[in-house]
Structure 1
């Protein structure tokens, strides 16, 4: 199998790297195209293949569409002969229906990965067109596994995935930074505060994943009567931390819906 990646910006570059780093493909099996040849140079040096966008159909079985939504119409004009190919799109707010209309392709998958995909620990929300049969879907899942865990959703839920998973790492990084700063304020070194915060977050997440308990159950395990933890939780509730986080995700979701409308997706 040969894979094409149209657009090697942030997400396209991550996908191109992971396809090879995961061991799924050799560099020569991955064909890349990009408007700027400068971005292709590091990949060429590592043995990746290069093709123009209109050559992808002749060379590849599966093609990732990783351009910015605003650049999609130009890409569609250059992407010819892909009617029988499998297309996987990372374009926010560009619907399966629009991709099919522009390309005449029928086997289309929309995905929303997040930045931990850089190390194969991402969350990939994915929805597929009706013509993606189970065998094709299994192939797509195998390819996408190099990015992390794949969760299939209905296409109308992709904007929610964008808010809750796609954008959320940025919010988590802000929270992590604030917790590290709190540690520094209490006299810990940056290095020790960073390690404590990251290991605590990673361990807490793994605990929830493995045991599948509701987060509130473990919160009560940590919370002793009249202790330090309940004092901290009380302050979080007074400051509206829970509501602020929920509102952050909701506002991100609404912006994703607005972008979809603006782009006619």
Structure 2
């Protein structure tokens, strides 16, 4: 499958400027800056503990950076907004985790409608209609009355994606969304993500799925020890990485994928 270029606008959707994040003496992010345009798909790769997941958590202020700025669709994120305003702004950034983080005591449908009603102010009727559309989109229209424990891992992750989309986000962040799945379930989740990219969703994807990155990502960013060591068009970086750490990491990764 060859890479299908997306319609990428000039408008910047995500800007991270000089982000730093430490945990005690451990430096998780050191002076990280990147920008992502509307409709662009950015793949983020790097070894374990290199700062990839920390970056995503800093972008949506689940884990606020110690210093630096985050701007989403031209608007500043930050604790100075106050908790309510920050929660509303965070709703513009959908997040899908490795572990599906669904509410186990809610049905699939309830998992999708609670936040849009509470944060976006949708009526139950509006939220339900939107949830059903999204479940159809991810191929789970017949599962709305099920509980998460009754679904396979791949189905739970597709519900998690639909739940993030129910908030009508401007940007989607994916933190290794297939790493907890059995190999035969990986493709069904990646297909949902491919469709999202084709629809023009701005996406930042932490992944080890190099074929997916090749097919779908416009650009790739390589992390090492809390820093970005390389970034550029996907085909270029994969074919001819410049930095020694990128070369070593990608060589190892491409051998296993």
**Which TM-score bucket, shorter chain as reference?**
under 0.3
- Rg larger for: 1
TM-score normalised according to structure 1 size? 0.22
TM-score normalised according to structure 2 size? 0.22
Could you say which structure has the higher strand fraction?
A: 2
Could you say which structure has the higher helix fraction?
A: 1
